[in-house]
Structure 1
Amino acid sequence: MFTRHFEFWPERLPKTLPIPESTIYDNLEMTTKRYPNKTAIVFYGTEITYKQLHSEVNKLAGYLQKELGVAKGDRVMLYMQNSPQYIIAFYAILRADAVVVPINPMNVKDEVAFYLSDCDAKVAIVGQELIQEIEPCFEFTPLKQIIVAAYSDYAQTGLDYTVPPAVAAPKERFESLAIIDWNEALTAGLEADPSKATCDDLCCLPYTSGTTGKPKGCMHTHKTLQSTLLGGIVWSQSTPADIGLSTLPLFHVTGLQHNMNGPISLGSTMVMMTRWDRDVALKLIDRYRCTRWTNISTMVVDLLAHPNLKDYSIDSLKMISGGGAPLPEAVGQKLLELTGLRYVEGYGLTETISQTHQNPVDRPKMQCLGVPQFDVDARVVDPVTLKELGPDQQGEIIVNGPQVLKGYWNRLEETKNSFVMIEGKEFFRTGDIGRYDEEGYFFLVDRVKRMINASGFKVWPAEVENTLYKHPSVQNACVIGVPDPRRGETVKAFIVLNSQGKGTSEEEIIAWSKEHMAAYKVPRIVQFLEELPMSGSGKILWRKLQELEEEKVK
């Protein structure tokens, strides 16, 4: 067991955490008994209590079972943006003893068809703006029926801030008998059968991003979800009095666990945004006195670049945390100076249904994954020989813990290849290159597949990006490798300039880089962009930029 970090373990916290043997739906039911009239969701002016949330979950679950024939273990696709309907649908699917398949709403027809076919989903719950992407799938996938939701049903009008177009759009009518209106399902008056689910039943099948091949469904049980949602609550010492700003997409495991399932288990309030908008975020923090904000680092970068930041009161925030990508050190320092808060980073994967590592709240380190959380054994090994490595040696991070997936859906060989036995314990291979320091804090170096080989020197793009963020004109940066006749590969940086960056030249960025990093790491090519391509969860899509560069040389 890796224990180097125990010396710096947060005071008053246990090192092991008993995981509830109840279901995720049970969390909502218990919270509703405790706080029936407490606000669960704030959604563009509308407040929904736990009592209303619980009632609508059960009505939808009854419809799924009695009208659509959803049975225990069936996969149901959830394909929509952040909304009350997303939460209601998620818990209704679980109440029907079925399995939620959360899908990125940015996916288009061919991608959606792949997921439907791969998991054999016959029923989907969908936002109305996405119908055009999924309706054609009736013809060549297992899909039989869709429940369609209009976000405007749950939002107020005449607000003093911008509402996303998908939320403002009026309800549409669809002719197909296979497309059922959300309200029709809720008003059908059908009661769900008694639940037979156990903590070890499959309940959620999120798909990996597919950056190293076709997306794979990660098999998670109620117990694996309970592990990280409870771990997040205890580690951050959150309480039912907390009010969280929910900006992460709920299809993504960090948003799912820390912006939805954790707060519902605890009984706190979720102030929900469908799409990221820094103006709206600042207004909501100010108006509802939000105390916590779990995000992705690009959101923090954007928020702190707001020219009128000081016009808003954000002193209610007691904790700002996130994962997905390290927060650049320069941005973390600016956050500390403005708010007095240190950014608390964590680390996890779809395969671990959010965090395996988190920084101690009272002793975080910048650009750091944190320490292994409750009951997690993490090691760093040579990716080829699997020999365990020591402090400050770079290798692949492997993890053993209660949150690790049970396997990839219908991918027996890939499941087998993703695990390795060490000291009689089964460890999951993350595919991430990292290291840990003398105090047992882990740091990400890069993805195994992303390394740039420049004249025989290994260049990790994330390291170069983190240095570029220290330049006063850089708002966002993404580094890739491009072919070079002499070096084999060379380093190219795509950069979005901030409001101070007007007039900054490519040559200036390169010259500055030579002063701040080793010569072999310096970007030889710099290209300015208005914006970088982002995933639905806010991650910079480096692979998309890589593919565009590769197309140029074909």
Structure 2
Amino acid sequence: MAQIPSPYWPKGVPRALCLPQVPLTHYLQVAAERFPNKPAVIFCGSTLSYAALLARVEALAGYLTQRLGVQHGDRVLLMSQNCPQYMAAYYGIMRAGAVVVPVNAMCTREEIRYYMQDSGARVAMVAQELLPQVMPLLQSGEGDALQAVLVHAYSEGLPAQPASDEVPDVVLAPRQWADAPGLHGLEDAIAQALPAPADHPGSHDLCVLPYTSGTTGHPKGCMHTHATVLASNMASQVWRGLHMDSVFLAVAPLFHMLGMQGGLNVPVTLGATVVMMPRWHAAAAARLIEHHRVSTWAAPPAMLIDFFSNPAASERDLSSLTVLSGGGAAMPETVANLLQTRFGIAYNEAYGMTETASFLLGNPLARGKRQCLGVVTPGVDARIVDPQTLRELPVGEVGELVARGAQLMRGYWRNEQANQSSFFELDGQTFFRTGDLASVDEEGYFFMRDRLKRMVNVSGFKVWPAEVENTLYEHPAVHEACIIAVPDAKRGENVMALLVLKPDFKGQVSEQDIIDWSRERMAVYKTPRIVRFMDSLPKSGTGKILWRQLQEQEHARLATSPAQEIP
């Protein structure tokens, strides 16, 4: 059965895109030719034009190839907080014909070692505060060790007196590293102004190898080409009506696909301006949106909840914000209503993953549905199938979301077993198994029901945590919520709620109050039987609540605690 065509397809948006056969670096060169003096990136009071950015990228590509021996197809680790140096390094690696391996700045030494060994990277580009985790890999003497590290200090690109006292100390820190074999200064490399290779990469060459967090085992590298990244990039632009005069706020970490596309690739492809933040700061974000007239911002719901609950959001002029989008979790109904009624902003929910270069499904701007992944976007085919039989399911039934499209990765890096379990044939076409449970309604809108392995089984009844979390957000005292499964001798599993209360309600609301309130709004088997208040919930670098970590911690705690009888 073919996918359901939505009757609410946005007017003027083609069903399929004619995708350019050029590399991502082509767009940087074109932007520098068209808008040489236009700000490409604004960061902590500094401004870097497109012409200056291109010059830095070309010089880095020349240094990588001529001094460090980086060849076409080599992988290069990139590890840093958001900054203009990251932008130059990212495009410099690609201009050299190499492949960016983005690494979370919070990774441990052993995690970095895994990325280095699995990808085969021998060169890394890192920020100076991360050198302690990286230097042992350069000095290890092992056969697969790093051979060279290009290091930068954020302050090297800042004015003598940054425009705001909100700039973090790590960004203000001067150059501090000592000379060592294999260590190279990024600014020193750029200063040599070596010419970039004559040959540009091809559109179907690998350009980025991001690693998924995965549900089991080691992270897996997703093989993306210039073409797959551009397919997602172009679809996002057309879908949201973005253009060269759009101003982007880049807060999401650039190592993650949400930040990489929204803070690097999409604006550069358009020749637009990026207002970049090194790390999240709600009041600073409000000031920057007002001052630079930011028009588009991609952020996860948890970040937006924090932003719009900050007094600065009400004190600043946010009228320039036109497109506020994101995914990774459903936007709570109460928060969406607040955005609409108080700020006149409709949150545009979408769905994507590392394997699809971020953008796959999206809500039409003119007719979005709440807590909804959206409809298929240009060139995408998405279905709902039975996770066991892979048979397509009818409208309304919950199953695994599978998809195909030009933005789909070319496979997992050196992991044929993962490829075998993730791709399958349906109606003569190759589809990718997302591992997400969803359903589709009669209008072609997809709704998340949760990760395939994230479900609470209460006496045989299936409970989707996202549904319970969305209901809990309606409680006036709840600031953040996470639902996890905990073992129960009688029922198999119980629903447990880990909550962060709003400051005014701390000490005023009890755990039993939450349970009683929930029982009035949910079926008894969905109602949390255990509630625990927390000061905060741990989150990933992209703002997603780490439900799996919380669940594992709670299981460990319960295993060492006396058994409790849960009513």
**Into which bin does the TM-score normalised by the smaller protein fall?**
over 0.9
| Aligned twin of 2:524 | 519
Alignment of 1:539 with 2:539, yes or no, is no
| Aligned twin of 1:231 | 235
**Equivalent position to 2:198, from 173, 190, 194:** 194
Q: Deviations over 1:139-160 (max 9, x none)?
A: 1443111001111112343433
Match for 2:101: what amino acid? V
Match for 2:91: what amino acid? Y
| Aligned twin of 1:110 | 110
| Aligned twin of 1:487 | 491
Secondary structure of residue in 2 paired with 1:521: coil
**Equivalent position to 2:225, from 221, 231, 252:** 221
Contact 1:295-1:322 at 8 Å conserved across structures: yes
Secondary structure of residue in 2 paired with 1:7: coil
Alignment of 1:453 with 2:457, yes or no, is yes
Secondary structure of residue in 2 paired with 1:479: strand
Match for 2:54: what amino acid? H
**Equivalent position to 1:434, from 428, 433, 438:** 438
Distance 2:165 2:330 in 1: 30
Q: CA RMSD in A?
A: 1.2
Q: Deviations over 1:21-70 (max 9, x none)?
A: 00011111111111111111000100110000000000111000000000
Distance 1:160 1:350 in 2: 34
Q: CA deviation at 1:499?
A: 3.1
After alignment, is 10-19 or 305-314 more displaced?
Answer: 305-314
Match for 1:282: what amino acid? A
Q: Deviations over 1:512-545 (max 9, x none)?
A: 1111111111111111111111111111111111
Distance 2:239 2:525 in 1: 40
Secondary structure of residue in 1 paired with 2:297: strand
Contact 1:297-1:323 at 8 Å conserved across structures: yes
Secondary structure of residue in 1 paired with 2:5: helix
Contact 1:152-1:169 at 8 Å conserved across structures: yes
Match for 1:96: what amino acid? A
Distance 1:360 1:347 in 2: 12
Alignment of 1:98 with 2:103, yes or no, is no
Match for 2:263: what amino acid? N
Distance 2:473 2:372 in 1: 16
Distance 1:496 1:480 in 2: 14
Q: CA deviation at 1:549?
A: 1.5
| Aligned twin of 1:287 | 291
| Aligned twin of 2:328 | 324
- Shift in CA distance, 292/414, structure 1 to aligned 2, threshold 3 Å: same
| Aligned twin of 1:87 | 87
Q: CA deviation at 1:165?
A: 2.6
Q: CA deviation at 1:163?
A: 1.1
Match for 1:524: what amino acid? R
After alignment, is 151-160 or 507-516 more displaced?
Answer: 151-160
| Aligned twin of 1:44 | 44
Q: CA deviation at 1:423?
A: 0.5
Distance 1:476 1:260 in 2: 30
Unaligned stretches of 5+ residues in structure 1: none
Q: Deviations over 1:295-322 (max 9, x none)?
A: 1111111011113432111011111111
Q: CA deviation at 1:500?
A: 3.4
| Aligned twin of 2:149 | 146
Match for 1:513: what amino acid? S
Distance 2:431 2:162 in 1: 53
**Equivalent position to 1:336, from 319, 340, 343:** 340
Match for 1:529: what amino acid? M
| Aligned twin of 1:530 | 535
Contact 2:97-2:200 at 8 Å conserved across structures: yes
Secondary structure of residue in 2 paired with 1:146: strand
Distance 2:135 2:554 in 1: 34
User: Which structure 2 residues correspond to residues 463-474 of structure 1 after superposition, within 5 A?
Assistant: 463-474=467-478
After alignment, is 496-505 or 295-304 more displaced?
Answer: 496-505
TM-score of the aligned structures, taking structure 2 as reference length: 0.96
Structure 1 segments of 4 or more deviating over 6 A? none
Distance 1:526 1:136 in 2: 44
Distance 1:180 1:209 in 2: 30
Distance 2:502 2:377 in 1: 36
Q: Deviations over 1:466-498 (max 9, x none)?
A: 111111111111111111222221111111112
Match for 1:154: what amino acid? G
Distance 1:45 1:461 in 2: 42
User: Which structure 2 residues correspond to residues 502-517 of structure 1 after superposition, within 5 A?
Assistant: 502=506, 503-517=508-522
Secondary structure of residue in 2 paired with 1:398: strand
Q: Deviations over 1:273-294 (max 9, x none)?
A: 1111101000101111111111
Match for 1:550: what amino acid? H
Match for 2:289: what amino acid? I
- Shift in CA distance, 212/177, structure 1 to aligned 2, threshold 3 Å: same
Percent of aligned positions that are identical: 45
Q: CA deviation at 1:173?
A: 2.1
Match for 1:506: what amino acid? E
Secondary structure of residue in 1 paired with 2:7: helix
User: Which structure 2 residues correspond to residues 15-54 of structure 1 after superposition, within 5 A?
Assistant: 15-54=15-54
Unaligned stretches of 5+ residues in structure 2: 561-567
Q: CA deviation at 1:383?
A: 0.4
Distance 1:385 1:210 in 2: 23
Contact 1:37-1:51 at 8 Å conserved across structures: yes
Distance 1:195 1:257 in 2: 25
**Equivalent position to 1:359, from 363, 376, 382:** 363
Distance 1:427 1:56 in 2: 40
Q: CA deviation at 1:501?
A: 2.1
**Equivalent position to 1:346, from 337, 346, 350:** 350
Contact 2:128-2:177 at 8 Å conserved across structures: no
Distance 1:397 1:79 in 2: 32
| Aligned twin of 2:66 | 66
Match for 1:142: what amino acid? A
Distance 2:303 2:172 in 1: 23
Q: Deviations over 1:423-447 (max 9, x none)?
A: 1000000000000111001010000
